[in-house]
Amino acid sequence: MKRLIAVLAAVLGALAVAQPAQAATVTRYPGTVWYDTSGNVIQAHGGGITKVGSTYYWLGEDKTNGSPFQNIKCYSSTDLKNWAFVRNVLTRQSSGDLGPNRIVERPHVIYNAATSTYVMYMHIDNANYSERKAGVATSGSVCGAYTYRGSAKPLGHDSLDDSLFLDGSTGYFMSEDRTNQKLQIYRLSADFLSISALVKTLNQYEAPSMAKIGSTYYIFGSHLTGWSTNDNQYATAGSITGTWSSFRSFAPSGTNTCNSQATWIMPVAGSSRTSYIFMGDRWNSGNLTDSRYIWEPLTISGTTASMACRDSWTIDASTGVTG
């Protein structure tokens, strides 16, 4: 009997070794309700993703109780499907920019290697959107507690929907300037804590997001239609401060960007290729807590970007391959 048990154990062990590794490909379903690993609805709107090592960190707005500021939440994932809630990195305070009935939108983070600091910029406003300022917060870790450092109008300009972009060691901040009806691109100071210079002015778009693909810079943005969606646009250039192309659509015409508004372009660098994922929000103005996430792979050909409106698609974060 002991000999039989030993033989069976050896066979089972061999079978276990022979089993193929679990597939790393996961499926994404744009527009459905996405839950974290604890079964709670993910609240990370208007945000972006920062990768540290092999882990992706998703920071965005908590809309559980509507538009006024509640929290900036941070989630982590290694496969871009299963997201674990880590913490609220910024929370509502008793007064000030982060106080009750305040607007804190579009938090984005880049890392300053020289100071070993994660720097967050966000849109800061009052309830009627008349202050139009950019706020700054910092942390020693991407998903740590952020210290709020205050807000200002960049070089005196309005700042509403905004974003960040890291080009090597140089940081850029971009935001919609409502008074001048422009999209402004600014270079940040060496420590990323302040605005150094206005380096480019483009046509007025909100919800901006920038990516560098090969040697080409892409900027994506939305027309101004409130919570309603529209056909978002993109433009390209050989340098941030150079000549940008005209803006044109990248999603199927008339789909209103798969019924979403841009917030971030996420590179997924794997062993086989680097893919680029469009991240958008499908805002539900009547119930903001039920706003949905629209992520779709971008197809890049030369200086042309396009995407389809698929109900489902797959990605392998280890290889970077989408399908």
Provide the pLDDT confidence category of residue 51 given band limits of 50, 70 and 90: very high
The 10s digit of each residue's pLDDT in 68-95 is 999 999 999 999 999 999 999 999 999 9
Q: pLDDT band at residue 57, thresholds of 50, 70 and 90?
A: very high
Q: Is residue 124 part of a domain?
A: yes
Contact in structure between 47 and 61 (CB atoms under 8 Å)? yes
Phi (first) and psi of residue 155, to 5 degrees = 55, 30
Residue 27 resides in a domain: no
User: What phi-psi label fits residue 257: left (phi over 0), alpha (psi between -120 and 50 degrees) or beta?
Assistant: left
Looking at residue 92, the DSSP 8-state letter turns out to be -
Percent of the chain clearing pLDDT 70 (strictly above): 93
Does any domain span residue 323? no
Q: How many domains does the chain have?
A: 1
In CATH, what number is assigned to the domain containing residue 81?
2.115.10.20
Domain-located, residue 138: yes
Domain coverage including residue 118? 33-251
In a domain, 169, yes or no: yes
For residue 48, being part of any structural domain is answered with: yes
Q: Residue 233 falls within a domain, yes or no?
A: yes
pLDDT in tens, 146-184: 999 999 999 999 999 999 999 999 999 999 999 999 999
The answer to the question of residue 285 being in a domain is: no
Do residues 265 and 219 make contact, with C-beta atoms less than 8 angstroms apart? Answer: no
- For the stretch 58-81, what's the b/e string if a residue is b when 16 or more beta carbons lie within 10 angstroms of its beta carbon? bbbbbbeeeeebbbbbbbbbeebe
The residue type of 21 is A
Residue 58: the pLDDT is 98
Contacts for 205 with CB less than 8 Å, ≥ 6 apart: 176, 183, 221, 222, 223, 224, 233, 247
Q: How far is the CA of 145 from the CAs of 88, 89, 138, 166, 261, in angstroms?
A: 8, 5, 8, 22, 28
